Amino acid sequence: MSTTTAGADSATGSATTGAGLGLRGAALGRRGEGGAVLDGVGLDVVPGEILAVVGPSGCGKSTLLRTLAGLLPPLSGEVTQDGEPVRGPGAERALVFQEDALLPWRTVRRNVELPLAVRGVARAARRATAEAWLERTGLAGHGGKYPHQLSGGQRQRVQLARALAGEPRAVLMDEPFGALDARTRAGMQRLLVEVLHGTGATVVFVTHDVDEALFLGDRVALLGGGTLLDVLGVPRPRDRQARTDPRTRALRRTVLASLDTD
């Protein structure tokens, strides 16, 4: 596929094939910093799913995410994408952080264009893609502004648009809504579900908020005690009112109990 075609396809919202991510007997952490934060981790992230990752503070949620992204090599074991070893960062895996990490000297539009510019997509195509994603994330008309002119929620929308504009096969999100107020956070959760629909991307979403995990996740991975405790399916349909469903209430109790493992 030519770079120009890639930009045009993204602008029309064509779906990609989600990446399958895996860990096999993995010990995760930073070398020289007192050993593994997580050990004996075996995990399969299904292509196209949203996997929410929950655990107490310091349990290794961010370490897991950075390992899947290729930023941290495992201390032992294996990390894979579609069965092949992950040996470093790649354009097919986009990271979204709690801090928006936007470049303050670039306009909103040019921030969204960034992954396409890095890939060498032609200017007209990347602009069309950026405008399409700004519209999808509710930011039409804001492309000429700079990050400091936006609210926190708007900046996170820009970060989401930038991540998805590059047509990643996996989006790895590290508590991206954690600094937002409750109302803005709820809106961003709904927006995430809406804009992911049809992209085909696999999502790993780290959060400390149990209700957020149960609303967003197709499955929830529970971390604690230095390992992966369990991966549980979330009852559907995805609806705020589902929290009153007995199955969801039982799952919520299980997840909350797992937070007391450390």
**What's 66's domain CATH number?**
3.40.50.300
In a domain, 157, yes or no: no
> What is the predicted pLDDT for the residue at 98?
82
Instruction: State residue 1's pLDDT score.
Output: 27
**pLDDT for the residue 157:** 93
Tell me, yes or no, whether 8 lies in a domain. yes
What pLDDT was estimated at residue 132? Answer: 95
- The pTM (predicted TM-score) of the whole model is 0.88
For residue 20, what are the contacts with CB-CB under 8 A and spacing of at least 6?
Answer: 44, 45, 46, 47, 80, 81, 82, 83, 202
Number of domains into which the chain is organized: 1
pLDDT of residue 5: 31
pLDDT, tens digit only, all 262 positions of the chain: 222 233 334 444 456 789 999 999 999 998 877 779 999 999 999 999 999 999 988 899 999 999 999 999 999 999 999 999 999 999 899 999 888 789 999 999 999 999 999 989 999 999 999 999 999 999 999 999 999 999 999 999 999 999 999 999 999 999 999 888 889 999 999 999 988 888 889 999 999 899 999 999 999 999 999 999 999 999 877 666 666 778 888 888 889 888 875 5
Residue 82 covered by a domain: yes
- Residue 15 has a pLDDT of 63
> Does residue 141 lie in a domain region?
no
- Per the structure, the complete domain to which residue 68 belongs is given by 3-106+166-258
Tokens describing residue 17:
């094939």
**Cα 152 to Cα 113: distance, rounded to the nearest angstrom:** 20
Which burial class, exposed, middle or buried, applies to 3 when counting CB atoms under 10 A from its CB (0-12, 13-18, 19+)? Answer: middle
Indicate whether 248 belongs to any domain.
Answer: yes
State the Cα–Cα distance between residues 57 and 211, nearest whole angstrom.
16
> H/E/C letters for each residue in the chain?
CCHHHHHHHHHCCCCCCCCCEEEEEEEECCCCCCCCCEEEEEEEECCCCEEEEECCCCCCHHHHHHHHHCCCCCCEEEEEECCEECCCCCCCEEEECCCCCCCCCCCHHHHHHHHHHHCCCCHHHHHHHHHHHHHHCCCCCCCCCCHHHCCHHHHHHHHHHHHHHCCCCEEEEECCCCCCCHHHHHHHHHHHHHHHCCCCCEEEEECCCHHHHHHHCCEEEEEECCEEEEEEECCCCCCHHHHHCHHHHHHHHHHHHHCCCC
* Contact (CB, 8 A) for 68 and 60: no
Structural domain includes residue 128: no
- Answer whether 191's CB lies under 8 Å from 216's CB: no
In a domain, 47, yes or no: yes
Distance in angstroms (rounded) separating the CA atoms of residues 97 and 178? 10
Is 199 a domain residue?
yes
